[in-house]
Amino acid sequence: MPKTKHEDAGASRSLWSGTISFGLVSIPVDLFAAVRGRKTAMKLVDPKGRALGRQYYCPKDEQTLSSSDIVRGFETDKGKMLVMTGEELESVAPEMTRDIEIRRFVPIEQIPPSFYQRPYFLAPAGKSTKAYHLLAGTMESTRRAGIGSFVMRGHEYLAALLSNGGLLRMATLRHADELRSAADIGLPKAKKAPAKEAQAFAKAIDALARDKLDVDELSDRYAAAVSKLVETKEKKGKDIVKTSGAESADGEPATADVLDLMKALRERLSSKATVTTADDTAPVRQKTDNVHKLPTRGSRTRATPLRGKRKHRS
């Protein structure tokens, strides 16, 4: 599929800068997204290809609302709506810090896969990478993960600090009360299968078993089909409308020169660093010197229309 102008735009720009801190240790790092937007992501447009805007509409008053007409509302379990003012929400907002505060280190296998949410890369931000490599190597050899939290864009996130292939990574975590248990769903309790039937299943599994995961098997077949459809329509010049000024996913003008994320990370690491990617057949050595919502707990937060107009606050 042909690349769009905004594809991977800003991949080499850090999302957040701060410091990994625990005890007397302090390591400056930059945070990079470890995932990219889908190539098959589509926009809602009119027949002329012009992007559509979103509006909030109050069906009871039959009117379109502007941002000044909307406040936050918290819906209780009993169906009541509690209006929350900006001052009230600001009073309980997390303290703005630039630290990834590690509370404790635990064995990696102690973190259930269902807790992992969004992955990131952490790159050394200072001139010296010694402490970065020391922490990454020690965590990897001991197979431990750091559990802590950090604040980004006014929201506090629970996170796991991980190490793999000589790189520090981080993943935001779900809170315990966000996960459902087997009992919540009503799944039956485990039962021991008869030996003969268990053996038959073991043979069926062995027939498909592989010692190594082929990442090509994780490809999106639907995305590939859409990409092929786009290429076909583009070659035929069918259903093409010209739009003015492509923008990146975050609304900023797209940039033509985009650096590869792994290249950017390699450039920050010392000559002794070993970086392994999914596409590498062997370790590579390089010489170099919106508003996010907090996870809901029980009830939901909704935007609630006000009766009448409300003045903007400076």
Could you state, in order of their start, the residue ranges of all structural domains in the chain?
A: 16-180+239-305
Provide the strand spans (E) within 165-299. Answer: 167-173, 274-275, 284-285
Tokens 């000024």 -> residue: 245
> What stretches in the chain show pLDDT beneath 50?
1-7, 9, 245-259, 277-301, 307-314
**Cβ atoms within 10 Å, residue 51:** 10
The token duo for 2 is 């042909």
Tokens representing 122?
């952490």
**Residue among 274, 292, 294, 293 nearest 284 (CA):** 274
* Beta bridge partners of residue 148, listed in sequence order: 102, 159
Longest dimension (CA), the chain: 74
pLDDT at 16: 94
Element spanning 58, H or E: strand 56-58
Find, among 189, 176, 162, the residue nearest to 114 by Cα: 176
Other CB atoms closer than 10 Å to residue 297's CB: what's the count?
8
Alpha-carbon Rg for the chain, nearest whole angstrom, is 25
pLDDT at 68: 84
CATH class of the domain comprising 16-180+239-305: mainly beta
**pLDDT tens across 172-228, in order?**
999 999 999 888 999 988 888 899 999 999 999 999 999 998 988 888 888 888 888
Write down the pLDDT at residue 261: 65
Please tell me the predicted confidence (pLDDT) of residue 282.
41
Q: What pTM was computed for the model?
A: 0.65
